[in-house]
A and B are shown apart, each in its own frame.
Chain A
């Protein structure tokens, strides 16, 4: 409990306790924990004097928030118009079938969390899949599955795109 308090205090302090910065605070909690644990949200709700129900409203309204732990890797498939036209729907189906996962869900072995997002803005190389932040352009159902099979079960070292 004390550790929860410390984490939340640090985050709340970062934004001078401003209630308007609730979303960035929750984003920080998620960045630290990988998801939004109920205990942390309780502490946050108390600190900000905002009802827990509102925190849940925010957590469930925005698609980037997670209330359950994620897998070791993050697989994100772009479902933007161009990717869709170029077959992203089929890729999503293939991944779901092969790994028995649903968009927004995590595989049972926690190897990866699978997300289908609206558009990652890399339309020129559609269809696009991201694995731990790394872009794979022009993917096909089979190449996507191949990439995922290549993932190690250990925690990913998040590679950032564009090493500037």
Chain B
């Protein structure tokens, strides 16, 4: 297939011709096995499965038209590794190495379904043959992730065959830059990186800004802990990001783009590099793209491992080879960004939405979602839910549907406590607001925010003071130190929170935290500092009782803060096996054969070893 697309494309018709050729070939190659190699599945060994399938294809010989394809994240990471057999659309989950031969023999060659590997609905017990039948996928709508799990991210031909770069061809042949911006305006697309700023307005301002050259940047510095949406797009369908950037650059009038990828994502860098070189090879990047006077190229920069570089001005400082310190916002990057030139920065997911908007029209996009938040949003649904994974939902869906219907509810028989959205700058939303609709404004009203799309579900075992402490600790470490409120304020807040979680809290601590939060919000230089108090404020707002329990009763209701609960052995559950006694580093446990063991509370150091080691869960936290 690769020889088809080795020549330079000189016009839109060339692209269409190649696409038709690719499609005609596709009919002939009958079967294809898609192996998900997204982060979740890869961690469970899917790259090895891919190798095994490739070997199986080779052994089958030339008579059988089968291909094995390593694809990007398919979403349901919980049940990985995931393998799809096309065209019959069979969805196998939790595939292991020994299954490969059977899948190849039975399903690929024999067209028989292996029941054992199908997804089983935990409530009805029904088996699902294809992804559409699985509740996790039913409520989703895929726009940015439409080709994730379908295309091989290492092959530009795969993307072209799915209609890829068609939006670019359309833009270059029949649309003026102003028409492109208007289309995005009709769509109502807002920035997916967290800010939610209208994309079209940003593009227009940058287009109208004085100075040249203009720069276009893709922010792939996905620093929020608990989020991997952008990673999944960069590694699952890198060309959609390039195409979005090309369209944006044409609209804005830019000829140089940058993708800033965080240091922790080496595979994303590889995927993008390969995509860029393939696009260059056939003239979709470089001079005179598709025979048009428009020229554009993209360079990748790897971050250095600093969270603050996700902030636009810090990111640009980093691109200029300096330490990533943000600057005051009254000078807009649109007018004076990278190297003091007009610069337009959008997030990975925002760029990935652009081709779909051009292909289907702005109105189509605007029909999805709510009044002021259009389209879909990708979330990484993680934490204490049954189905962790990557989901894309229409804006306006309720949190409850995401947690219960898509996420399958809380893992085990625990109770839901909160869902955390918006990363370290976001907040925790409690059960009483689960029916809130997910859109930019609604989440902000609840004291959280959309953020880039991390959605972390917490159950009753999660201590909210500890959560606030975790995020404050994170932000305090990541604060660049340039402005005083953020540098000093966060250390003070962390100090207070640490005291509370050690059981040394004092009356008035919560109010003190509130004051510090107010100062931070009003005076910090950049968004990192301004929003840094959100985790603290939202947990105080919804879980004040937990703070009070720590401070007044010296008790951690979730039994997570060490020292604020005790370990006891349930005499009825104890089988007197002696494991806890042998492992206790403080010799605090006494007991004999056939006699339930007892913890001597005076000797106990609360290390938790007995609780971890007990095979009968007889050690309880009280």
- Please give the residue numbers on chain A whose beta carbons come within 8 Å of chain B beta carbons, in ascending order: 19-24, 27, 54, 57-58, 61-65, 79-85, 90, 117-126, 128, 133, 135-137, 141, 160-164
Contacts and interface: CB of A to CB of B under 8 A. Distances in A.
A133 B39 CA distance: 12
Given A125-B43, A125-B44, 8 more contacts: A58-B322, A80-B225, A85-B458, A125-B40, A135-B39, A161-B39, A161-B47, A164-B37
Nearest to B258: A20
B323 interface: yes
B304 A118 contact: no
* B39, B384, B454, B470 pick with most chain A CB within 10 angstroms: B39
Contacts of A81: 225-226, 383, 420, 454, 456, 470-471
A61 B225 contact: no
Nearest to B424: A81
Interface in B331-356: 339
16 contacts: A23-B321, A27-B302, A85-B462, A118-B264, A119-B226, A121-B39, A121-B227, A121-B265, A123-B388, A124-B43, A126-B382, A136-B43, A137-B43, A161-B42, A163-B47, A164-B154
Would you list the 4 A-B pairs with minimal beta carbon distance, nearest first? A62-B304, A124-B77, A22-B321, A80-B225
B318 interface: yes
A153 to B, nearest CB: 25
B73 to A, nearest CB: 9
A149 B480 CA distance: 36
A54 B319 CA distance: 15
A9 to B, nearest CB: 18
A82 B47 contact: no
B236 to A, nearest CB: 11
Interface string B281-312: 00000000000000000000111111100000
Given A27-B302, A27-B304, A162 B267 contact: yes
B362 to A, nearest CB: 31
Nearest to A137: B43
B222 A121 contact: yes
Nearest to B320: A20
B51 A163 contact: yes
Given A81-B456, A118-B474, A162 B37 contact: yes
B321 A124 contact: no
Contacts of B456: 81-82, 85
A57 B42 CA distance: 36
A81 B419 CA distance: 12
For A24, A64, A160, A162, the residue with the greatest tally of chain B CB atoms inside 10 Å of its CB is: A162
Nearest to A118: B225
Contact of A121 (B70, B231, B302, B470): B231
A53 to B, nearest CB: 11
Which of B40, B48, B80, B389: most chain A CB closer than 10 A? Answer: B40
Contact of B78 (A19, A84, A124, A160): A124
B453 to A, nearest CB: 12
Nearest to B321: A22
Nearest to B387: A124
A16 to B, nearest CB: 11
Contacts of B223: 118-119
B301 A24 contact: yes
A120 to B, nearest CB: 5
A162 B47 contact: yes
Contacts of A136: 43
Nearest to B480: A61
Given A19-B321, A81-B420, A124 B470 contact: no
A152 to B, nearest CB: 21
Given A80-B225, A81-B454, A119-B223, A124 B267 contact: no
Given A81-B470, A124-B77, A164-B37, A58 B383 contact: no
B389 A124 contact: yes
A81 B304 CA distance: 20
Contact of B39 (A21, A22, A122, A163): A122
Identify which of B318, B324, B382 gathers the most chain A CB atoms within 10 Å of its CB. Answer: B382
Nearest to A141: B612
Which of B42, B225, B339 gathers the greatest number of chain A CB atoms within 10 Å? Answer: B225
B86 interface: no
B53 to A, nearest CB: 12
B610 to A, nearest CB: 14
A58 B264 contact: no
Given A163-B50, A164-B37, A164-B154, A123 B382 contact: yes
A117 B307 CA distance: 11
Instruction: Give the interface centre of A21, A58, A81 by most chain B CB atoms within 10 Å.
Output: A81
A20 B320 CA distance: 4
